[in-house]
Chains A and B, each alone.
Chain A
Amino acid sequence: MGNYTFPKLLREKYLKWGDNKVAIREKDYGIWNEVTWKGYYENVKYFALGLKKLGFERGEHISIIGNNEPEWVYAELAAQSLGGAVIGIYQDSTPPEIKYIAELSDSVYVITEDQEQTDKLLEIKDELPLLRKVIYWDPKGMRNYRDPILMSFKEVQELGREFEKEHPNLFEEEIDKGNEEDIALILTTSGTTSLPKLAMLTHKNMLKMAENLLVKVDPMYPDDEFVSFLPLAWVGEQMMSISGGLLIGFTVNFPEEPTTVTENIREIGPHVMFSPPRVWEGIVSMIQVKIEDSTPLKKLVYRTFMPIGYRMADFKFNKQKPPLKWKILYKIGYFMLFRALKDRIGMSRIRKAYTGGAALGPDVFRFYHAIGVNLKQIYGQTEIAGISVVHRDDGIKFETVGKPIPETEIRISEEGEILSRSPSVFKGYYKNPEATAEALKDGWLHSGDAGYIDEDGHLVVIDRMKDVMRLSDGSIFSPQYIENKLKFSPYIKEAVVFGKDKPYVTAFINIDYENVGKWAENHQIAYTTYTDLSQKPEVYELIRKDVERVNKQLPEAARIKRFLILHKELDADDQELTRTKKVRRRFIEQKYNELVRAMYENRDNVEVQARVKYRDGREAVIKAFVKVETMF
């Protein structure tokens, strides 16, 4: 590929297309404004020269915080043109969080979007001795701000224009000095338990990633459109909008406001889209709700053709050739339903849609493929510049994350940890040699995730290593992984999996009162209370099917051997769940100790008494007989 950096690619595209091709679009005041490659280049040039005039030196760092707008990108490319590195800070960071990152990264300039972000910096500027200037690009609301540390983006570009007159070729020379091994980005890795670390990524790391994914596996083209709405502080967005955008030259569209993203995606109709699972789930929910609210004719069309869509999707997943009859029906479905549906959600032109970061329910997957959206799973981490594993179009399996991209090796360690090796593996954590050594032990990138490789060579991600448990014989299982799979069923509202240091895996299951209730009514099964419904033998049969389904997807040692349906719904008011609805496993195990023991002592029926607190504060005792079901 040659010795490329982001700025060198920017220059290459500018020389190739100049004013003739749109590089960036931004919606402002209701109108999409276009910036050509020439405009992109010049904006970067003047900001860079301005920074140079202010005293920015090669190898120094700047931080950027703000919503996705062209200025974010100009500032990034400008710093990189001068041989500096860029730290991205998430827009919703609090002042102490910003201070930690700006200080740790030795940032000499912080580029902010607007008043909100600037206010945060003004709060902490006195604790950042290295900070020279805070440069903001949206002046709205800052008419009374007089702090000398502040400068506007435009002012800096003005300085740059002046500077160019005295040093006409400086910008070009600086770009020429750039090397693919220079650090381009320093991105934070999410530290849920400890403080975030700063991962250093070179131009080569980022560009190899873009090449391996967006050229060799799922090619993108200069005429493609992409909407950039995920934070630019996140490696995934950098990989697509910046790395991919500069390597291939497609147009990057910035939404008007975070609140208008869905509308803007509809307007642009991008060719590629990247989102976390909750976005994909949210869209499906929205469609289903809107269909419920629409006319009887539309409902009829939906109910007639969706099954056809699902059938076609299943043919694809099972790698069977669909018979002609189905192809024809699908074609009709396309004109009657799928085309319009895709258009409504802005996905008419989607060639590839990616999901990653957490597990996505198989029904959601099937939905998108049914309507004709090519949704695939990816896996990766900041430390590998983005993605290491992806589904190929012809090899999509719901429980896996796919196969490695070119130039990438994946291995499972003896402890079950996923290791990777590729030219995109980062250079280390800034100012943290111990963490770096740990992450890059023996020359492999340690992901911190537990997983295995299945018969088809696909990687399966189980859980974070630290959340994984072991049975008494040492086999690994992940409670959360199994619980998530169980909860994909509409009949299961909550699940708690046990097995640590025990001979086999067991589970408590909470049925979904509404859905199971409806099911019972449809099957002429009478019931009185939640407790009563939960212990019906027919309900046990129903849930048993779901447990069987999940067991099929698990390695043998992790399969649920026995389960019971809890007679009482787990509730935050009873301390069984956190306020954010996460199960408090240890507490539950203690509170329902009788039941847990029954599952491991081979008893089939247990009498229980449980204390319940009603919403108005009253307390009561529930007595019940709980049945335990054995799977195998």
Chain B
Amino acid sequence: MDEILRVDNVFLSFGGVNALFDVSLAVYRGEIFSIIGPNGAGKTSLLNSISGFYHPQRGNIYFEGKNITKLPSHKRAELGIARTFQNIELFKGMTVLDNLMLGAHIHMKSGVLSGGIYWGFAEKEELAFREKIEEIIDFLEIEHIRYAVTGQLSYGLQKRVELGRALAMDPKIILMDEPMAGMTIEEKEDMVRFIIDINEERDVTVVLIEHDMGVVMDISDRVAVLDFGKKIAEGKPEEVRKDPRVIRAYIGEEF
């Protein structure tokens, strides 16, 4: 099993608050790895550290063996790390199609000049990427909202578009921050189906923060549990769910 992502002894604090305290974990290529824990445990901070929005005071992060701790986030995106956000970070005034094409732009070679002239190289490139985007649209079943203004879509659909944008980057790994939050049962089932399909059909490793225990236990290959910034358990879903430390952290919850 080949390690695609490794977090080594990461410490992250904001003033006196320890968001992450000596957190280490490894994610293997091709798996679905979930991060769970009570609210405030540091899960989003961990994802932000991996994608480069937060800079840990101590520790290292490796992607495909390369140390990316000092790399700015856009460089990490170019390496193949994609991200979806809890609160949706789409361009609400743009159409779905434009948002998706944007996701692909990190791979586009045309610069300011050829893009400004458009015909010729830039146009050819745009068409080639458009084809890839159409495949993603088909995959996520969002044909009917291709030209819709993103801000006017329902929450569930916006989340799907965000996933599409992440896929448009042709990533090797997707970090998903609570993709099912606020969804109806039907929407959740669709999202789970997409995650599994992304993982199996498109060979993308998935790191998932999720509160829906049913989903986590059902689809994860491995699970890590954070509590108050520390990792308190890691392993297969069945092992983690029985771990007394995990149960204690979640007192009142049943899985």
Contacts and interface: CB of A to CB of B under 8 A. Distances in A.
Interface magnitude class on chain B: 10 to 19
**Residue from the set A29, A143, A144, A259 with the largest chain B CB neighbour count within 10 Å:** A29
A143 B196 CA distance: 12
B238 interface: no
Interface string B159-192: 0000000000000000000000000000000000
Interface stretch (B3-11, B109-117, B132-140): B132-140
A260 B141 CA distance: 11
B143 A30 contact: yes
B197 A257 contact: no
A541 B246 CA distance: 73
Contacts, number: 28
B147 to A, nearest CB: 8
Q: Which of A30, A144, A260 has the most CB of B within 10 A?
A: A30
A259 B201 contact: no
Given A29-B134, A29-B138, A30-B134, A256 B143 contact: yes
B200 interface: yes
A141 interface: yes
Interface in A238-288: 256-257, 259-260, 263
Contacts of A140: 139
Instruction: Give the contact-size bracket for chain A.
Output: 10 to 19
A30 B135 CA distance: 9
A263 B201 CA distance: 30
Contact of B144 (A29, A141, A143, A263): A263
Contact of B137 (A30, A141, A263): A30
A143 B201 CA distance: 8
Contacts of A256: 143
B144 A259 contact: yes
A260 B145 CA distance: 8
Interface in A133-178: 140-141, 143-144
Contacts of B141: 257, 259
A140 B137 CA distance: 13
B200 A29 contact: no
A260 to B, nearest CB: 5
A259 B200 contact: no
A263 B141 CA distance: 15
A259 B138 CA distance: 12
A29 B142 CA distance: 11
For the residues of A in contact with B, the DSSP-based class is loop
Contacts of A263: 144
B146 interface: yes
A143 B197 CA distance: 10
A31 B200 CA distance: 27
A122 B37 CA distance: 39
A518 B194 CA distance: 49
B197 A259 contact: no
Contacts of A257: 141, 143-144
A373 to B, nearest CB: 24
Contacts of B143: 30, 256-257, 259-260
Contacts of B197: 141
Contacts of B131: 29
A144 B130 CA distance: 28
Nearest to B196: A141
A140 B136 CA distance: 12
A119 to B, nearest CB: 12
A263 B144 CA distance: 8
A141 B146 CA distance: 22
A143 B139 CA distance: 14
Contacts of A144: 200
Nearest to B134: A29
A140 B200 CA distance: 12
Interface string A7-30: 000000000000000000000111
B201 A29 contact: no
A260 B134 CA distance: 14
A399 to B, nearest CB: 37
A263 B148 CA distance: 12
B146 A30 contact: yes
Contact of A260 (B135, B144, B201): B144
Interface in A16-66: 28-31
Contacts of B201: 141, 143
Nearest to A28: B138
A30 B133 CA distance: 10
Nearest to B144: A259
Contacts of B200: 143-144
5 A-B pairs closest in CB distance: A259-B144, A29-B134, A260-B144, A30-B134, A257-B143
26 contacts: A28-B138, A29-B131, A29-B134, A29-B135, A29-B137, A29-B138, A30-B130, A30-B137, A30-B143, A30-B146, A31-B134, A140-B139, A141-B197, A141-B201, A143-B200, A143-B201, A144-B200, A256-B143, A257-B141, A257-B143, A257-B144, A259-B143, A259-B144, A260-B143, A260-B144, A263-B144
Given A31-B134, A259-B141, 8 more contacts: A30-B137, A30-B146, A140-B139, A141-B201, A256-B143, A257-B143, A259-B143, A260-B143
